[in-house]
Structure 1
């Protein structure tokens, strides 16, 4: 990921989750220093997916 991607960048939560899964596979192939940087971005995406799920369910993310 060149920038921090959020779940709102995708038309559906499923699309965001598919991208997340593909990123996990991509990051697994990286060298450790780069892997750690990319995992920070991936964590932000995971949190935004959880927040979007809560919003779409009508609740609030905590």
Structure 2
């Protein structure tokens, strides 16, 4: 990932999503893992929502400094 985290919380979210991506790739090689993969995708999406919220918060923190 080429994305630079804005905060340590963003770093944790980025790392967690990357680990889930690797798990999904590995599990795709195994039979009968569809349900587990669906659950992991749901967790990934929740992490992405948290990350989006952090980005928005960070963006609103930076906006006044740009004026």
- TM-score, with normalisation over the residues of structure 2? 0.54
Q: Which structure has the greater CA radius of gyration?
A: 2
Matched residue count? 47
Structure that is richer in helix per residue: 2
* Alignment RMSD: 2.1
- TM-score, with normalisation over the residues of structure 1? 0.57
Query: Structure 1 residue runs of 4+, over 4 Å off?
Result: none
Structure 1 gap ranges (5+): 1-10
Structure 2 gap ranges (5+): 1-10, 58-67
Distance in 1, Cα, partners of 2:30 & 2:38: 14
